[in-house]
Amino acid sequence: MKIKNSIALSENGFLFNTETGESFTLNQTGLSLLHYLREGETEKELLQHLLSEYEVQTEVAERDLHDFLETLRRYKLLMP
Amino acid sequence: MTRPRYTIAVTGLNVVDSPGPGIAVIRGLRESTRFDVRIIGLAYENMEPGIYMRDMVDKTYIIPYPSAGHQVLLERLQYIHHQEKLDIIIPNFDAELIGFIRLQPVLQKMGIRSLLPGMDQFEERLKDRLPEYGKRYDVLVPTSEPVTTISGLHEALKKFELPVMVKGKFYEAYRAYSEEQAVAYFHKLSAKWGTPVILQQYIAGQEYNVTALGDGKGGLIGAVPMRKTFITESGKGWAGITIADQGLLDMARHIVTQTHWAGGMELELMKEEKTGKVYLLEINPRFPAWVYLATGAGQNHPEALVRLVMGDDPEPMTQYKTGTMFIRYAYDMICNLEDYASISTTGEL
């Protein structure tokens, strides 16, 4: 799982899809997840990051991560 | 080495809610690193803001409306040429282009150069001929049908699913969700632009625009695609951003190569949400009002047009900066009464 190469990501969480012209704003958590995705990390590894960086129950982190990845898929930001 | 200085006449100085491309073209010309310019504005009305933008336009002349016929236009251009010794003319309105295309050989003899599509090229891309165009050049186009009467409209509507696009002959388009709405838009558009009014299949997806320049020999000299990021109530893009979509650039190259398009053009394209297919909605036969975005992104199309016209053989431009954005704004200029009086009484400023 990797984000598309056409995604430009700024340090303040502004995401611009250079292919479509769409733009999105990410919070700090979303921004760090995208950085990890860019490095090619797996869903399991992303979950480990969330659990180590935030005080959150595993089920909640899993659900939120799942929702986040679904949102990325819906907006066609992940590589097919 | 001294740079050449060209005297260039430009139309489309109406920087109003649906702006003409004139000022955007002039900005590109003034930013040229290869030549200097004296800009002669050609305006239809004394309230076109570009007339009063003295840092953009050196001198303006009122010219007759296209409805007056091209002979009247020629006489006016002869007078202007006598005063200014024009090198180049860049018309920027769809409706005036026919006149300038007809006059092109005469103007050429007078020493005024231009880069314009031929009459065939101009006419084959008219909205009511889009289906034929799609077939001839193997381009995906939405189903469309020209209608000239209300009874014809009702008949044609049976062939379309709602919503349907209702488009004016030259400008304006509306999405109609019912037969009643379609009738109302038909009346509105036929009263303003005449007939035919065009019914067009609605494609659900994202609209994109490409500004492009063809050399008239099948070469694509430049192309920059853009997505509108703010659209006014009247449907005009008031902000936009350059994007990198090879499919859109391929479409521009295909059209320019196939048709040997000469001059500036704007492609209006729709990328279908479901399939990702790119449909050609319209070809505007001149630079769009947002052409300065291309200059800002690294492709100065008006400058390249002048180089083509002057036989300078510019290299095709393939690079531009994606994510370059424009936002338009309105700005109140304080103008001299003397200027207003001059353009109103003498037709010159």
Residues 6+ apart with CB under 8 A from B101: B116, B117, B118, B119, B122
Contact list in B for residue A19 (CB cut-off 8 A) is: 243-245
- Cβ distance B226 to A20 less than 8 Å, yes or no, reads no
- Cβ distance A21 to B244 less than 8 Å, yes or no, reads no
Flag whether residue B279 sits within 8 Å of chain A, measured between CB atoms. Answer: no
Q: Which residues of chain B from 216 to 235 reach within 8 Å of chain A, CB to CB?
A: 226-227, 229
Query: Which of A7, A16, A19, A24 is the best residue to mutate to test the B interface, defined by the most B CB atoms within 10 Å of its own CB?
Result: A19
Q: Do residues B128 and B198 touch, judged by C-beta distance below 8 A?
A: yes
ipTM above 0.90, yes or no: no
Q: Provide the residue-wise pLDDT of chain B in tens; the chain has 349 residues.
A: 689 999 999 999 998 778 899 999 999 999 999 999 999 999 999 999 999 999 999 999 999 998 899 899 999 999 999 999 999 999 999 889 999 999 999 999 999 999 999 999 999 998 888 899 999 999 999 999 999 999 999 999 999 999 999 998 877 889 999 999 999 999 999 999 888 999 999 999 999 999 999 999 999 999 999 999 998 887 788 999 999 999 999 999 999 999 999 999 999 999 998 898 999 999 999 999 999 999 999 999 999 999 999 999 999 999 999 999 999 998 899 999 999 999 999 999 9
pLDDT digits (tens, 9 = 90+) for B73-100: 999 999 999 999 999 999 999 889 999 9
- Cβ distance A8 to B208 less than 8 Å, yes or no, reads no
Q: Do residues B90 and B8 touch, judged by C-beta distance below 8 A?
A: yes
Q: Do residues B291 and B267 touch, judged by C-beta distance below 8 A?
A: no
- Describe the crossing of helices B301-309 and B22-30 by its angle, rounded to 10 degrees: 80
Q: For A8, list phi and psi in degrees, rounded to 5.
A: -100, 130
Contact list in A for residue B272 (CB cut-off 8 A) is: none
- What's the confidence (pLDDT) of residue B1? 66
- Cβ distance A20 to B227 less than 8 Å, yes or no, reads yes
Distance CA B187, CA B194 (A): 10
Q: Do residues B329 and B252 touch, judged by C-beta distance below 8 A?
A: no
Contact list in A for residue B206 (CB cut-off 8 A) is: 20
- Cβ distance A6 to B244 less than 8 Å, yes or no, reads yes
What average pLDDT does the structure give for chain B?
A: 94
Low-confidence ranges of chain A (pLDDT < 70): none
Flag whether residue B207 sits within 8 Å of chain A, measured between CB atoms. Answer: no
What average pLDDT does the structure give for chain A?
A: 92
Q: Which residues of chain B from 79 to 138 reach within 8 Å of chain A, CB to CB?
A: none
pLDDT digits (tens, 9 = 90+) for B275-298: 989 999 999 999 999 999 999 999
Contact list in B for residue A20 (CB cut-off 8 A) is: 206, 227, 243, 245
| DSSP state string for chain A | --B-TTEEE-TTSEEEETTT--EEE--HHHHHHHHHHHTT--HHHHHHHHHHHS---HHHHHHHHHHHHHHHHHTT-B--
Distance CA B65, CA B99 (A): 10
- What's the confidence (pLDDT) of residue B236? 83
Q: For B193, list phi and psi in degrees, rounded to 5.
A: -115, 0
Of the candidates B226, B229, B323, the beta carbon closest to that of A18 is on: B323
Q: SS3 of B298, please?
A: coil
Nearest CA in chain B to A75: B273
Distance CA B90, CA B123 (A): 19
